[in-house]
Amino acid sequence: MCINNIKKKDRIRELIQNNNNLFKCPICSGTMIMNDFGSLTCNLKHNFDLSKKGYLNLLVSGKAPVYSKKLFEARHRVCKTGFYAPLLNKLAQILDEYKKSRDNKKIKILDTGCGEGSHIYSISQRAKENQGNIYVGVDISKDSISIAARNNAHIIWCVADLTRLPFQNKSFDVALNILSPANYGEFDRILNDSGIVIKVVPGSSYLKELREIIYIDKDIPDYSNSKVIDYFKQKLDIKDIQNINYKFDVSEELLPYFIKMTPLTWGKSIEKLNNVYKKNISSITVDLTLIIGIKKR
């Protein structure tokens, strides 16, 4: 086990060394270099060690993550079933088309709020034009990044604050923002002039089967993503909007993981959660809106 960890750490260290120009110090904003001992260091000697699992902890704000480790473990299990496969296929296709528009030059892709890393990992495996691309996943939760770093992917994983990303200006081509909060000021800063933001937000029917049971004793809260889209329009020029809708078959064994992975169940009584099991849900609706934006001209 130890040998595997050492090999992985060395591989990720080399990947970071080959992309030193991505990073800026989260303390002083100075340039950073990964040395041969696995430490990312700036000119003022602020030092961040690459963990044995192969990720960097660049969080200095002390902010507490919103989601629990149990939620990320459950989400990881659900993602492995292919629950988001149609979305991920579409995202991989968009990235392939974008790369072709850049004369097939390698592109640098940042997944902002990557959670336990399943999305960017799956995209990196799907993209036909993947060779040479640089993939980076960042999340404020150390627990989630620790889960993400379990695989042997050629991906740089970082614990960091979305409001102060530890990356140089204009260092990325693509910012992914999948079912996660956004920070458009930081996206504008870290994207180059021809860069794109790809944001995915829930539609009104997303996980409706769970919501119908959880709110069985009162009206289901209406949800519309129109405000999110309107705000996106204020910050970026919209290049495309696509809707992704499908049903996913759910086994009795998998249902508990769906319940644990969503904040919908937070603060709900045991009785209400038991109602979900009793209903024997056979399928769950996936309703998502995918928005592609470019910098304001």
Helix/strand/coil (H, E, C) string of the chain?
Answer: CHHHHHHHHHHHHHHHHCCHHHEECCCCCCEEEECCCCEEEECCCCEEEECCCCEEECCCCCCCCCCCHHHHHHHHHHHHCCCCHHHHHHHHHHHHHHHHHCCCCCCEEEEECCCCCHHHHHHHHHCCCCCCCEEEEEECCHHHHHHHCCCCCCEEEEECCHHHCCECCCCEEEEEEECCCCCHHHHHHHEEEEEEEEEEEECCCCCHHHHHHHCCCCCCCCCCCHHHHHHHHHHEEEEEEEEEEEEEECCCCCHHHHHHHCHHHCCCCHHHHHHHHHCCCCEEEEEEEEEEEEECC
Q: Known binder of ligand: residue 84?
A: yes
- Tell me the backbone φ, ψ of residue 29, rounded to 5 degrees: 70, 10
Is 42 known to sit in a ligand binding site? yes
82 annotated ligand binder = no
For residue 129, say whether it is annotated as part of any ligand binding site.
no
* 185 in a known ligand binding site: no
252 labeled binding residue: no
Two tokens, residue 203: 């539609």
Cβ contact 201:228 at 8 Å: yes
Q: Is 79 annotated as belonging to a binding site? A: no
Annotated binding site for S-adenosyl-L-methionine: 84, 116-117, 206
Q: Which residues are annotated as a binding site for Zn(2+)?
A: 25, 28, 42, 46
Question: Which parts are annotated binding residues?
Answer: 25, 28, 42, 46, 84, 116-117, 206
